Amino acid sequence: MPKKFLFAFIGLAVVFGAIIAVKKKQFAPPPPFEFPPEAVTTAVAEAQDWDRIIGAVGSLRADQGVMVSSEGQGTVKRIAFESGAVVKQGDVLVELDADVERAQLAAAEARAGLAGVNVARARELWERNAISKSEFDGSEATAKQAVADVSSIRAVLEKKTMRAPFSGRTGIRVINLGQFLDRGNPIVTLQALDPIHADFSLPQQRVSEIKTGYAVRLTLDAHPGVAFEGKVTAVSPEVDATSRTVRVEATLANADEQLTPGMFVNVAVVAPEKTQVIAVPAMAIYYQPYGDTVFVAKEIKDEKSGRTVKVAEQRVVKIGESKGDFVHILSGVAAGEEVVTTGAFKLSNGRKLFIDNSLAPKAALAPKPANT
């Protein structure tokens, strides 16, 4: 009996050993899970030379602009311009009724003529000692008074005719024929539009960065996609005590009169010196509450395959100004490093990357989107 039990025990041990040997691999722990490479696009951080730009907002002002007003009193007899017309300096704009003044001028000229004849006759008599010196002086003073009266009436008559003080374009007239005008009543605006000025202000800490002669670019909503070029022509020598800003004037050519006084404009003052920056496409920035980051594609050696692969390395960066499709990286990324541009939201530190730039969007400093 003991031998039978021994053989049975040995048989069971052999059977269980065979079962364990066969099933051993099924009970082994699984290998660690590894994410497949993530498909992304990348771009290389570039060292670029950017224009040093000082931005501001301002408004346009005519080179010369006035409201032409009445200098005299009277009824409007003739309107010699059309609303919105171009006029030359000295052109007649409005004439007031001056019949009374012309009659007064004719009478004054007659008195002046008679006074002149009397002075000539008195001089002959005085030279022959036929009259006293006081009588001669009186006739001479009367003649001068008559001449002064003529000049006074001519001045009044001249003010009955309003002329353009400079060349420009008229606005919409605010008078009508037959209307009585008093001194100072408005007639029409007159604006000299070429050249035109842009007035804007800069904070006092930026005064040292701007000088006369610097180039200026203007953009405005009325002409989207168009940049108007000009130059800084004046910088105020004083700082406003309330706002601590300095007023700056730029001048632009405006022969086609696309720019109109009073328009709101965005101003970019371009300094002649270039600034070297490290730039990456704006889409590479992963904006997060704790700081802006980018994912850099780093090359490492895969321990299993022994091949070189690229993995994501997340870095916190400090960004500066943006220009076009690019952002200035102040710290965190060096020139020549490859950064992920699309697909960053799916990445984590150490994630393997599959880079396919065949359909990557192209970044440009001056993008021109196609009309849709």
Over residues 152-164, the pLDDT tens digits come to: 888 888 888 889 9
pLDDT in tens, 273-284: 888 889 999 888
Residue 273, classed as helix, strand or coil, is strand
Q: What is the mean pLDDT of residues 237-246?
A: 90
| Amino acid of residue 192 | A
The alpha carbon of residue 84 and the mean position of all alpha carbons in its chain are separated, in whole angstroms, by 27
Positive or negative, the CA dihedral 161, 165, 168, 171 is: negative
Predicted pLDDT of residue 186: 92
How large is the angle between the packed helices 99-127 and 133-158, nearest 10 degrees? Answer: 160
pLDDT at 34 over 80: no
Determine which of 52-56, 124-128, 154-158 has the lowest per-residue pLDDT on average. Answer: 124-128
Q: How much is the mean pLDDT over the chain?
A: 84
Flag the least confident range among 58-62, 124-128, 302-306: 302-306
In this prediction, residue 372 carries a pLDDT of: 43
Among the residue ranges 15-24, 115-124, 132-141, 289-298, the one predicted with the least confidence is 15-24
| Separation between Cα atoms, residue 72 and residue 162, nearest integer Å | 9
Is 265 exposed, middle or buried (CB count within 10 Å of its CB: 0-12, 13-18, 19+)? Answer: buried
Q: Does residue 249 surpass a pLDDT of 90?
A: yes
Rounded mean pLDDT, 29-44: 77
Q: Percentage of the chain surpassing pLDDT 70?
A: 92
**Position 116 pLDDT exceeds 50:** yes
Question: Does residue 295 contact residue 38 with C-beta atoms inside 8 Å?
Answer: no
Of 84, 93, 91, 261, nearest in space to 170 by CA = 84
The lowest-confidence range among 71-75, 247-251, 366-370 is 366-370
**What is the C-alpha to C-alpha distance for residues 312 and 284, in angstroms, rounded to an integer?**
13
What structural domains does the chain harbor?
38-49+276-355 (2.40.420.20), 54-63+194-273 (2.40.30.170), 71-96+161-184 (2.40.50.100), 98-159 (1.10.287.470)
CB 198 within 8 A of CB 104: no
- Among 94-98, 124-128, 208-212, which stretch is predicted with the lowest mean pLDDT? 124-128
Residue 199 has pLDDT above 90, yes or no: yes
Q: Report residue 232's pLDDT band, with 50, 70 and 90 as the boundaries.
A: very high
| pTM recorded for the entire structure | 0.64
Average pLDDT over residues 2-26: 69
CB 363 within 8 A of CB 325: yes
pLDDT of amino acid 26: 62
Average confidence (pLDDT) over 51-55: 82
| Residue 285 amino acid letter | I
Q: Compute and round to an integer the Cα radius of gyration of the chain.
A: 45
**212 contacts: CB under 8 Å, gap ≥ 6:** 231, 232, 233, 234, 235
Cβ-based neighbour number of residue 242 at 10 Å: 6
